[in-house]
Structure 1
Amino acid sequence: MMGSTPSNSLTLLLSLASLPLFLATSLAAATPLPGKALPTKSRFLPINVTSGSAMFFAFYESPKPHSPPSQTPLLIWHQSGPGCSSMIGNYFELGPWLVSSDDNNSKNPIIKSNPGSWNHQFGLVFIDNPIGSGFSIAATQQEIPKDQKSVAQHLFIALQTFLSLEPSCISSPLYIIGESYGEKYATDTRYYILQQNSRLPESQQMNLQGVGIGNSLTEPAPRDQLEEIQDETVRLTREGRWREVKISRDQVFDWLQNATGLAMLYDPRRKRPYETDRLEAFPQKEEVKVALGVEKGMIWELCSGVVGDVLIEDVMKSVKFMVEFLKKIRVFLYHGQLDLTEGVVSNEAWMKDREWEGLQRFLKADRKVWEVNGEVNGYVQRLGSLTHVVVLGANHFVPADQGLSSQAMIEDWILEKGLFANRKR
């Protein structure tokens, strides 16, 4: 959200920072967000105290932690875009409650418990990132980051503040997950955290343990292999003309969708695109805003066109070198089998081009059939700190499409169980 004036944004930020969220519990009976579905905490994290720019977050404690709070893994979720709200992940994909429709009124959005939530055993944080996205406040358009380094700096500030607000999480194992373009946020933030950790005393370091990358846009060049339009996209990529590359890539997808007649490239099985009306309407409700600690007059967008335009030149830039840097921590790549936009083949192409001493051994490692509750759910390929999973029958939005399978996947990877168990590196 773009703030109307810096002073108003700062006033809002300071007032919310001093307001305990659960003063809103009394509203539970009158809100479509009942008390049991409220986040453990949701508020704003200051990015620029002077101007009032701030990031909005919603934090959910684990209802069934496998360890004490200080040792319970904490997942930080980043949405795609650029400019899309993490409330998509929260209420559409992997949060504890998902937006659905009233059985008596299909246009009335309500929420229902999600049996495949990723916070079953872990803490889960959704951050509207970068500023200007979702409920997050950008006091001016000029403050919206234009590159991943600036995005990472903002996120580092936000995470430091969040951990100071949650003392029980200060030493928690930290896992940062990004979907599609959100993978860039995840990768660059991990890169930045590792750099900062090397300069800080151990007591001030973040306990970063791993990065998860889902249906990612890590290295664009190998994937653009169509004829005339695709060749143009490749040429622009090599010349580093990033705004034009993004536009050309969109033309490729438009051509493919028109030529195939598919409803959407995220999932060729679907006969119609996702219906986002309910999802878009839910955070707009005044009762929901109040329950989340957001001012009623704030404007929420599914995806911010302003943020998307500011970061358009960043979309097609490679971050493969940063993934290679992350060999110091665990790296988890997962892909839905049916995604035609950021799918299995294109991501395996850049993986084969990684500069990693164990690459050839990884490529020769067995792809083992992965089962959940006796049913085949895909395959797992693993060597040392690198794990790659292809989720059978899943589309671009893996947690939304295969909820229980994705829940088992993230839990087994973090807890190193089954095919994800730690082996000699």
Structure 2
Amino acid sequence: MQMPMYLQSTYALPCLISLGKASSLALLVTQHPRSHQQPHRLCNKKLLRYRGDARNVSTNWHGGCVRHPRVLHAMDCRAKSREAEQVKEEVGFPDEAVPSASGYLPVSDSSKSRLFYVYYEATNASTSLEDTPLMLWLNGGPGCSSLIGCFYELGPWRVQENCTLQPNPGAWNRRCGILFIDNPLGTGFSVASSDIDIPRDQQTVATHLQYSLGYFLSINPNFKKRRIFLAGESYAGKYVPALAYYMLENKQSQPKFNIASQLAGIAVGNGLTHPRTQVQLHADVSYNFGLLDKEQSLTTHEIASQIINLVDSNEWLQASERRNKLCSWIEETSGIATLLDVRRSSRYHHLRDGRDYLAMFLNSSSVKETLKVHPSDLDFVSCRQSIRSLMAEDTMKSAKWMVEAVLKRGIPVLLYQGQFDAKDGVAGSEAWMRALDWEHSKLFWTSNREIWKVNGKLAGYWRHCKNLTHVVNAGAGHQVPVDQPLHAQSMIEMWMDSSLKPSPL
């Protein structure tokens, strides 16, 4: 069986750089901005105070960036280290790394809340710009900023440990423009006018994203005909299928921004999509990686069964809390830094002493000015635990049925994982994929699983049938574009190209 064109590559195997993962701080979103009461300060939490009317967002493209007023003013009462303060003043932003556009996008006609975005246009498009596809990238969490994807994973520039920017050879915006949105409200630099605006479920998340994406496409007439790919990782295993599903289902009820016809495909990396099935694999995966012995594995199985019972009883919050504790217990028992990559000695985008250098970079006043972040003193936190708390009841709910709906519409779907992710990795993903309610499911699983090689070296494994593709990335953990940037770049470019020019299968 010949390998699909979208997985053929001549790239050499890149070197791996061991980096770390995000730290977490809490976020407090204040009362509704129309209130005349003064917001109060709480220790160790973010305090947001409304300033100005966010509805007056300008959409004029000037100097490569969208101009906008201050939307919210933020004050942070947590202490900052002297070194971090020094970095904030010294960090520079190369002119060539300035985004094509950045700013805030509305989530509805009436809400004053805004989603922050950064957009980079395609650098080496193979077609005219009007025919060059666009990609929306979403990080997960929930509460993880998509600027992690932009400046750490797959954007054209990567933040180094010394808080400088270097070109990314594995950037995903060679063949498409990429839009990074901090999602949901309250994440990263996105701002909510009240805590009521912060979503608690996937339908609200999708509704906000659909409006914001439609608004963004309306900024430039050239965007209105360009094909759109939705992509993301981890908890975006819910965001991406939900957005695609609601785009397709609500195309008649969203006359203002009817963008369903532009949807060209969805891609999810190491996604948490069907937690009930995925949690059942934690014990076996941990045991087979050698993280647990047989007795510890049996204990993990027992706890996982309890979590499944909670899910089946619709005890969503308790199920989510138990899963978090279970994963933490496995990490503590095995002594590893993170289940997201069993090889690592530290978490993604952390310095060796535990500091989050990506957050240090984005908190620089010069970087905020370049990205058009307002207010200038709104602090970036890479993963906000308060958003996780607000969406905790959604965590263990399934998005599998939305993947099925997208597949049945004939939309191309790419599901990929890194082989060293023991939390949201290959085994758990394949388990729920085997239960897909899709007419071509049997044909998909009876097709051959092929070896994927790059320059004669193992790059991973793939399986493809009709509009579904599954890829296992060798030598990668949870954040595949970080661990194998050139392979990930090749994978996504070839898949997009094949999706735009489908085979007769």
TM-score scaled by structure 2?
0.77
Distance 1:298 1:65 in 2: 35
> Following superposition of structure 1 onto structure 2, how do residues 167-246 of structure 1 map, counting pairs within 5 Å?
167-197=221-251, 204-206=258-260, 207-225=262-280, 226-246=300-320
Larger fraction in helix? 1
> Following superposition of structure 1 onto structure 2, how do residues 275-424 of structure 1 map, counting pairs within 5 Å?
275=350, 277-295=356-374, 296-327=376-407, 328=409, 329-416=411-498, 422-424=502-504
Change (3 A) 1:49 1:323: closer
Shift of residue 44, structure 1, vs aligned partner: 0.6
Partner SS state of residue 312, structure 2:
helix
Amino acid at match of 2:190: S
Partner SS state of residue 231, structure 2:
strand
Give 1:6's match in structure 2, choosing from 33, 37, 52. 33
Distance 1:194 1:23 in 2: 30
Q: After the TM superposition, which of the residue ranges 109-118 and 221-230 deviates more from structure 2?
A: 221-230
Where in structure 2 are there 5+ consecutive unaligned residues?
A: 1-26, 35-49, 68-89, 281-299
Q: After the TM superposition, which of the residue ranges 308-317 and 220-229 deviates more from structure 2?
A: 220-229
Distance 1:121 1:334 in 2: 20
State the match for 2:72 in structure 1. Answer: none
Distance 1:57 1:72 in 2: 20
Partner SS state of residue 227, structure 1:
helix
Shift of residue 249, structure 1, vs aligned partner: 0.4
Q: After the TM superposition, which of the residue ranges 297-306 and 245-254 deviates more from structure 2?
A: 297-306
Give 2:138's match in structure 1, choosing from 75, 78, 89. 78
Could you report, residue by residue, the CA deviation over 1:219-278 in whole angstroms, capped at 9, with x for unpaired residues? 112233333322211111111111111110011111211221112111111123331521
Shift of residue 362, structure 1, vs aligned partner: 0.4
Shift of residue 170, structure 1, vs aligned partner: 1.2
Give 1:248's match in structure 2, choosing from 318, 322, 327. 322
Change (3 A) 1:10 1:187: farther
Change (3 A) 1:213 1:200: same
Root mean square deviation of aligned Cα = 2.4
Could you report, residue by residue, the CA deviation over 1:55-82 in whole angstroms, capped at 9, with x for unpaired residues? 1110100110111112111110011111
C-alpha contact (below 8 Å) 1:6/1:51 kept by paired residues: no
Shift of residue 407, structure 1, vs aligned partner: 0.1
Partner SS state of residue 211, structure 1:
strand
State the match for 2:151 in structure 1. Answer: 91
State the match for 1:120 in structure 2. Answer: 174
C-alpha contact (below 8 Å) 1:10/1:52 kept by paired residues: no
Shift of residue 205, structure 1, vs aligned partner: 3.6
Shift of residue 355, structure 1, vs aligned partner: 0.7
Amino acid at match of 1:366: N
Distance 1:44 1:155 in 2: 12
C-alpha contact (below 8 Å) 1:16/1:44 kept by paired residues: no
C-alpha contact (below 8 Å) 2:139/2:148 kept by paired residues: yes
Query: Percent same amino acid at aligned positions?
Result: 36
Distance 1:240 1:20 in 2: 50
C-alpha contact (below 8 Å) 1:13/1:44 kept by paired residues: no
Where in structure 1 are there 5+ consecutive unaligned residues?
A: 103-108
Shift of residue 90, structure 1, vs aligned partner: 0.7
Partner SS state of residue 125, structure 1:
strand
Partner SS state of residue 387, structure 1:
strand
Distance 1:143 1:24 in 2: 24
Change (3 A) 1:365 1:15: closer
Distance 1:311 1:272 in 2: 27
Shift of residue 373, structure 1, vs aligned partner: 3.3
Distance 1:118 1:94 in 2: 6
Could you report, residue by residue, the CA deviation over 1:25-58 in whole angstroms, capped at 9, with x for unpaired residues? 9xxxx86222110110001111256552011110
> Following superposition of structure 1 onto structure 2, how do residues 147-158 of structure 1 map, counting pairs within 5 Å?
147-158=201-212
State the match for 2:188 in structure 1. Answer: 134
Amino acid at match of 1:301: V
Distance 2:144 2:256 in 1: 34
State the match for 1:266 in structure 2. Answer: 340
Distance 1:80 1:23 in 2: 26
TM-score scaled by structure 1?
0.91
Shift of residue 372, structure 1, vs aligned partner: 2.5
Change (3 A) 1:59 1:219: same
Could you report, residue by residue, the CA deviation over 1:306-363 in whole angstroms, capped at 9, with x for unpaired residues? 2221111101100111000011111110010110000111111111111111111100
How many residues were matched structurally?
413
Larger RCO (CA under 8 A, 6+ residues apart): 2
Distance 2:413 2:62 in 1: 36
Partner SS state of residue 166, structure 2:
strand
State the match for 1:100 in structure 2. Answer: 160
C-alpha contact (below 8 Å) 2:108/2:208 kept by paired residues: no
Shift of residue 198, structure 1, vs aligned partner: 5.1
